[in-house]
Structure 1
Amino acid sequence: MNFLERYLWKSVLTSILITWLSLALLDRFFAFLSEMGDVSPETQYGNLQALYYTLMGTPKILYDYFPTVTLIGSLLGLGNLAANSELTAMRAAGVSIRQIVVMTLKLGLALAIVVFVLGEWIAPRTELAASSFKLRMQQKQLAIGNQGVWVKDGNRILNIATLWSANKMEGVSIYAINPEEGRIESITHAARAERDADGWMLYDLKRQTIRADGVTQEVLEQVHQTDLIPEQVMSIAAVKPNQLAASQLADYIQHQHDNALSSAHFEQAFWQHFTTPLSTLVMLVLAAPFVFGFQRNSGAGQRIFIGILIGIGFFLFNRTLGSIGIVYGVPPLLSATLPLLIFLVGGLWMLRGIR
């Protein structure tokens, strides 16, 4: 049984990896062609920079595609075994369909852990690094990274540790530069900043003014400022839930709850960090009926076509239900898990009639 399990894993895993690589290369090729429209001789963003930016987005694409990749790859891997009568030989040796499905699910569990790590620690970091790199090369005076948002606005450089929303920031640091001498003339730190009708109110402010004869400090409870940060910067640097790790999303959700604000988008993205890896197992369950049932004699082209159709259907249904859930107030946990449950029930129902 261990030998058969390893052989089955090797066949399915090879097909999944080949499919994963093929789809990623195809996507990145068209993404690179799209980036050519942003290449400009007036900035530092050239062809090599566009290629680097495109490659940095690969982990996120790998993460998003993995459920579909798992379905297509498992259809190909198991289908090739069925076409060569190897699955028939396994069953003749006393291995049931249920045991074969359980073997593939063990592989799926290992892959789900890998995908979770990819979506939690790797993809969000590369997305931030790619966005910051492109903005820097395009000389847009904005950088986004692990140390928050950095903005250059005239003779000021701002660092925002946490940008909760378009109306609230925490950990705001303002470095004022003397343009004639090229040195920092003051450093201002504010614990938080909140937008009002006339601008921004900075709270718990500490300011250090640097002069030739020394440094003076002042502490202020609150200060109002009308031009703290350019409006267009807020739209660029706004938090995108699908680019955050689950731990970061949990912080944002707690903040929204504490301030009686809507957190539906953040909760939806949070639960998808767990449903996306689990969908790997569902895709493996869905593949089994098509291999052991009415598609056992179909060619590789037919299996790929079926896998693409089901994968696209799952992707669209997942996105549509998530959007509908946010609009109509459906609990984010339900809208995130319902597509998974529906496709799982469908796969198990199709398996029931197969012997």
Structure 2
Amino acid sequence: MTKHIAKVVGFQILAALLVLVGVLQVLDLLDVTTDIVERQLGAGGVAYYSLLRLPRLVEQSAPLAVLAGALFGFTRLARNSEVTAMRAAGMSGYRVTAMALPLAGAMMLAQLLMSTLVAPATDRTLATWWQDTAPAADRQAAEPRTFRVGTDIVIATPSPSGAERLDDITIYRRTADGQLIQTIHAANAVHRDGAWVLDAPQVRTVAPGEVQTATARQMLWRSELAPSDVQALFSGAQLSPGVAVAALEGTGSVRPRSYYETQLQRFLADPLGCVVMLLLAVPVALANFRSGRGGVTLVVCLAAGLLFLVVDGVFTAIGESGLAPAWFAAWAAPVLFAAGAMTALLNLEG
């Protein structure tokens, strides 16, 4: 019986995942196909772009695929009176749920793998490829960016030569309480042997009642900022766990600390959404479609799954802005909706 449920529900979840990823892929390609053709990359370029975007789309589609697939699968089992036969044989709704949970667990692991390992790597590859293939006439001049490194504020322009170099860099050295003590400006900085070499820096040191000015041919800026961190800061790719941890450790960040804390918690909480979606779909399996209540139950379960996504997004935004603790913002919606789904299952079991 476990194999039958896994076959029916698992097939529907896989089909829903393929449909959702396909729709998102088509919508994505509608925006970029013209650019790919103009760059004369041809069908190979379209295929390469689609391949690099695939891990991120799978990650985004996983929870909805579990919800849609579980709803379709449980509806089929209920309409064919298969769940009724299971319950007549002494099988409870809890056991039916337990037999379907490994499917959500598999999707949860797949989503976690994509978000933490595969998608960050493909995002970096895609960003580099997209930049390298841009026509010279369409390439915009690099604009300076502002970011934090520890307590320091840095303004720098990305260099066309790569992440090992920063142009027109200004470093505002500050104390732990935010008091400015020194500014350093250089035409460029090159990363060598674990440190940044500043070319012809101009140093202004702020002292009580005066500002001291000095120049040098070269100066070492010892910082935890690595070329990989520079690439992550300037590429515009989606945040990865490694980048979030580095930002919290002071390596380099462009957003408030609360944003990275919330996102780090989200990397752990997001895959739990697959389990929550499956639990929200379970009442459909126990519904009586012959009495006409099955359709109502199906709509309610679908609405509950969509509401979960909305509430989860609202809590995440609250956490990123610092209005709520990061752990609460990331875990509140999954815990609340999972508890609600289990309560509904308890009521259905009488």
Give the alignment's TM-score, normalised by structure 1: 0.69
Q: Give the CA deviation at 1:23.
A: 0.9
Using the alignment, how far apart are the partners of 1:311 and 1:163 within structure 2?
Answer: 38
Q: Return the match for 2:11 from 7, 14, 36.
A: 14
The answer for the alignment partner of 1:148 in structure 2 is: none
The answer for the alignment partner of 2:197 in structure 1 is: 205
The answer for the alignment partner of 1:184 in structure 2 is: none
Cα deviation, 1:171-205, whole Å, max 9, x if unaligned, reads x99979xxxxxxxxxxx989xx7534784585752
Amino acid at match of 1:86: E
Cα separation, partners in 2 of 1:168 and 1:291, compared to 1, 3 Å: farther
Contact between 2:78 and 2:285, CA under 8 Å: does it hold in 1? yes
Unaligned runs of 5+ in 2: 173-182, 190-194, 200-215, 222-229
Cα deviation, 1:27-69, whole Å, max 9, x if unaligned, reads 111211122453563x445565345324421211110121111
Using the alignment, how far apart are the partners of 2:294 and 2:54 within structure 1?
Answer: 26
Q: Return the match for 2:278 from 284, 290, 309.
A: 284
Aligned counterparts, 1:1-355, within 5 A:
4-39=1-36, 41=38, 43-44=39-40, 48-139=44-135, 167-168=153-154, 195-196=171-172, 199-200=185-186, 202=189, 205=197, 220-222=218-220, 237=234, 243-255=238-250, 262-293=256-287, 309-355=303-349
The answer for the alignment partner of 1:156 in structure 2 is: none
Cα separation, partners in 2 of 1:290 and 1:132, compared to 1, 3 Å: same
The answer for the alignment partner of 1:182 in structure 2 is: none
Unaligned runs of 5+ in 1: 144-150, 154-161, 177-187, 208-217, 224-232
Amino acid at match of 1:9: A
Amino acid at match of 1:246: P
Cα separation, partners in 2 of 1:59 and 1:290, compared to 1, 3 Å: same
Contact between 2:258 and 2:321, CA under 8 Å: does it hold in 1? no
Root-mean-square deviation (CA, aligned residues, Å) is 4.3
Cα deviation, 1:266-298, whole Å, max 9, x if unaligned, reads 222211111111111111111112331366877
Contact between 2:148 and 2:250, CA under 8 Å: does it hold in 1? no
- Secondary structure (helix, strand or coil) at the match of 2:219 reads strand
Contact between 1:71 and 1:311, CA under 8 Å: does it hold in 2? yes
The answer for the alignment partner of 1:147 in structure 2 is: none
Cα separation, partners in 2 of 1:141 and 1:246, compared to 1, 3 Å: farther
Using the alignment, how far apart are the partners of 1:39 and 1:173 within structure 2?
Answer: 24
Cα deviation, 1:54-104, whole Å, max 9, x if unaligned, reads 442121111012111111111111211111111111111221111111111
Q: Give the CA deviation at 1:222.
A: 4.2
Contact between 1:72 and 1:303, CA under 8 Å: does it hold in 2? no
- Sequence identity, in percent? 21
Using the alignment, how far apart are the partners of 1:299 and 1:126 within structure 2?
Answer: 46
Amino acid at match of 2:31: S
Amino acid at match of 1:124: P
Contact between 2:74 and 2:284, CA under 8 Å: does it hold in 1? no
Using the alignment, how far apart are the partners of 1:50 and 1:84 within structure 2?
Answer: 43
